[in-house]
Amino acid sequence: MEEMEEELKCPVCGSFYREPIILPCSHNLCQACARNILVQTPESESPQSRRASGSAVSDYDYLDLDKMSLYSEADSGYGSYGGFASAPTTPCQKSPNGVRVFPPAMPPPATHLSPALAPVPRNSCITCPQCHRSLILDDRGLRGFPKNRVLEGVIDRYQQSKAAALKCQLCEKAPKEATVMCEQCDVFYCDPCRLRCHPPRGPLAKHRLVPPAQGRVSRRLSPRKVSTCTDHELENHSMYCVQCKMPVCYQCLEEGKHSSHEVKALGAMWKLHKSQLSQALNGLSDRAKEAKEFLVQLRNMVQQIQENSVEFEACLVAQCDALIDALNRRKAQLLARVNKEHEHKLKVVRDQISHCTVKLRQTTGLMEYCLEVIKENDPSGFLQISDALIRRVHLTEDQWGKGTLTPRMTTDFDLSLDNSPLLQSIHQLDFVQMKASSPVPATPILQLEECCTHNNSATLSWKQPPLSTVPAEGYILELDDGSGGQFREVYVGKETMCTVDGLHFNSTYNARVKAFNKTGVSLYSKTLVLQTSEVAWFAFDPGSAHSDIIFSNDNLTVTCSSYDDRVVLGKTGFSKGVHYWELTVDRYDNHPDPAFGVARIDVMKDVMLGKDDKAWAMYVDNNRSWFMHNNSHTNRTEGGITKGATIGVLLDLNRKTLTFFINDEQQGPIAFENVEGLFFPAVSLNRNVQVTLHTGLPVPDFYSSRASIA
């Protein structure tokens, strides 16, 4: 609606049309504004003089009079009538809408008549302010132009729709909101003005007062003004002249100039022209929609050009600075690499110090305890615990086996600097070569700040060089096997980011990426070195657990709401390597049989772990334990659990074995052998048990020493 407002304003005064008339060029003017821009022409060019000289002009030949434009070819803002040597030039002005208009050559004569009825000077000419077509008025003057009743109605509806609330029409200063409308007076009143100006007595008592909203509707529904003929003011338009393209009255057909013209019914032509206008508007609407979309496209192009320009300049400056500061930047990068190696070596040594300190504290405590036991003078009491102590001493001694007291890290920095490829690239860098198109895409750039590892997963991100002009259709990401072996493809597609799961823990991988299109593939990017976690950090998985499982402590602690056994899995699966985790028993009531072990992702969740062929487990009570797989019970072993007990699970996929521990003591022999595939940590329990998971633990030292000996 607001966009339509400019169509409803006069090009001369800039306000809404008042009593608009239609010019032959189909533009509109206020009747008062049309009178203001009339210009008087020389007598020799009047219609009467033309008829007298034999050069009569049809009443509709004014459409050709735009050749007599008041503008000069240079459009200097001044004009004169073409061919009128005696006519003075008249300065042009601009209306509030920015349209050039021409003021009258002389002030109109004073008259007591209204502007609509006052006579116009003889031989007057009017020029449309929008298309600049000129017309010499006949004897009827401005009355010869039809009034645009439709435009008046549109303006009235528009102004009514713009009014937020109907205001009183009789308030002297700030109009108050109207409360009633008098249908006979056609005036909106507020309560004070109604009591003062429209009392409910006397002749006004019979007037009908209605609410303002109803009054507005009654105004809209009131009979509209009927358009009358400009030649016969007492006659209404009843027919339409096809040749002159204008409404006419009955008298025009009987005795006027339209008597020999083809005419049609006014209502039929009204409907026909409405249909034609609607069809034309549909086409114009499509063009307007296309124009809006095109403008959006152009604005986006402007923004894109600005962004590309900034990025291009930034990249160019960065590359030029790189040529100047190549040595300094390489120095900083190499120093960072040395610092990283330094921190890594310190971390390894400090971790070994911490681990050795803990083991030494445990060993010292055991030694002191044993010395106190040796002092025991009661033979029977000593013999009751001596066997267990001897086993513990031997087991602790085994933990200090080969390799335990050997440094895991050397003090030397095994790094070598090879700067020849980089220097060669800097020397070959050429701006012209960079700008020239290449048949294959440019080499992708790995975005180091977005590349990372988590547990046994690696996320890599890359992009095309900013100055590349050859688009890439896709990318190929390659990783080696984590042991310095051959590269293999792990991703092919259009994305510029990829997460690779299922890598080995405590392994170093090399990654690289290349781009391709229909022509071929680019060179490989620089190789990125990725280090997976030394040990696995994980929690229980609520997404795959039975609905009776209750989680807490960031999904590290679980219990159950049912008396029946329910299964819950860990979030991380293992297919290679050696992995160890522990579970502590936080609550143990009524001697239940919780089970601990590993399982496939599709294990049964509503029975004890190990009842089907998808799980390998040890279930245990307060006195003994059993190993169970596919509902087969084996290796009954004495020794159970109580509140506070710790259960360890050791999954060695290198040797394909599964071993269990209770309170740091191996429970029975190796539980299962020849285990292969993808395994998830698993627990089954009921409401009488609550356990907490502990991950990120290194493999027990005594097991590592045994594995190295084997």
- In the chain, where the domains are located: 1-41+119-164, 169-217, 227-261, 273-401, 445-531, 549-708
Q: What is the pLDDT of residue 519?
A: 84
The rounded distance, in Å, linking the Cα atoms of 128 and 29 is 8
Q: Which residues pair with 508 in a beta bridge?
A: 531
Give the whole-angstrom CA distance, residue 578 versus residue 657: 10
Same topology between domain 1-41+119-164 and domain 445-531: no
Residue 698 identity (one-letter amino acid): P
Residue of 443, 685, 709, 404 lying closest to 566 (CA atoms): 685
Indicate the residue type of 219. Answer: R
Contact (Cβ atoms closer than 8 angstroms) between residue 567 and residue 683: yes
Tell me the pTM: 0.39
With contact defined as beta carbons under 8 Å apart, do 615 and 569 qualify? no
Listed in sequence order, the DSSP H helices in 544-679 are none
Cα–Cα distance, 434 to 425 (Å, whole number): 13
What lies within 8 Å, CB to CB, of 247 at 6+ separation is 146, 227, 229, 237, 239, 240, 241, 266
Of 63, 68, 64, nearest to 41 by C-alpha is 68
Which superfamily is assigned to 445-531 in CATH? Immunoglobulins (2.60.40.10)
Tokens 């459009």 label which residue? 75
- Write the CA distances from 310 to 301, 468, 470, integer angstroms: 14, 15, 20
Spell out the residues 6+ positions from residue 688 whose beta carbon is closer than 8 angstroms to its own.
Answer: 563, 587, 588, 589, 590, 592
CB 548 within 8 A of CB 689: no
* Backbone phi, psi, residue 59, to 5°: -60, -15
Distance from C-alpha of 347 to C-alpha of 104, rounded to nearest angstrom: 96
Q: How far apart are CA 426 and CA 323, in angstroms?
A: 7
The total of other beta-carbon atoms located within 10 Å of residue 92's CB is: 19
Q: Where are the alpha helices (DSSP H) in 222-376?
A: 250-255, 266-324, 326-374
Indicate the CATH number of 1-41+119-164 among 3.50.50.60, 2.40.37.10, 3.30.40.10, 3.90.1150.10.
3.30.40.10
Cα angle 628-692-659, degrees, rounded to a multiple of 5: 35
Cβ 20 vs Cβ 10: under 8 Å: yes
Predicted pLDDT at 489:
93
* CB-based contact 65:136 (threshold 8 Å): yes
Identify the pLDDT of residue 82: 33
Q: Give the model's pLDDT for residue 379.
A: 86
Contact, 556 vs 692, CB < 8 A? Answer: yes
Q: Tokens standing for 210?
A: 């209605």
CA distance between the termini of the chain: 88
**Which residues of the chain are modeled with pLDDT < 50?**
44-92, 94, 97-98, 102, 104-116, 433-437
Q: How far is CA 570 from the centre of its chain?
A: 35
Where are the extended beta strands (E) located within 553-652? 557-560, 566-569, 578-588, 595-599, 615-620, 624-629, 632-638, 646-652
Tokens of 642: 């109580």
List alpha helices for 53-162, DSSP H. Answer: 149-162
CB 683 within 8 A of CB 595: yes
b/e map 111-141, b = 16+ CB within 10 Å: eeeebeeeebbebbbbbbbbebbbbbbeeeb
Tokens of 93: 């002005």
Give 444's DSSP letter: P
Nearest to 594 by CA among 669, 539, 649: 649
H or E segment and range at residue 460: strand 457-463
307: its two tokens: 């962004």
Cβ atoms of 400 and 294 closer than 8 Å: no
Q: What is the DSSP string of 516-552?
A: E-SS-B------EEEE--SS----B-TTTS-TTEEEE
Rounded Cα gap, residues 85 and 70, in angstroms: 13
Supply the Cα-derived Rg of the chain in whole angstroms: 49
Contact in structure between 408 and 482 (CB atoms under 8 Å): no
Q: Are 481 and 488 in contact (CB under 8 A)?
A: yes
Three-class SS state of 489? strand
237 secondary structure, DSSP code? -
Q: How is residue 406 annotated by DSSP?
A: S
Coil, helix or strand for 178? coil
CATH class of 549-708: mainly beta
Nearest in space to 640 (alpha carbons), one of 621, 612, 658, 668: 621
Q: How many residues does the chain have?
A: 710
The angle formed by the CA atoms of residues 636, 642 and 647, to the nearest 5 degrees, is 65
**Cα 542 to Cα 605: distance, rounded to the nearest angstrom:** 12
pLDDT at 430: 60
* Residue linked to tokens 């895409």: 441
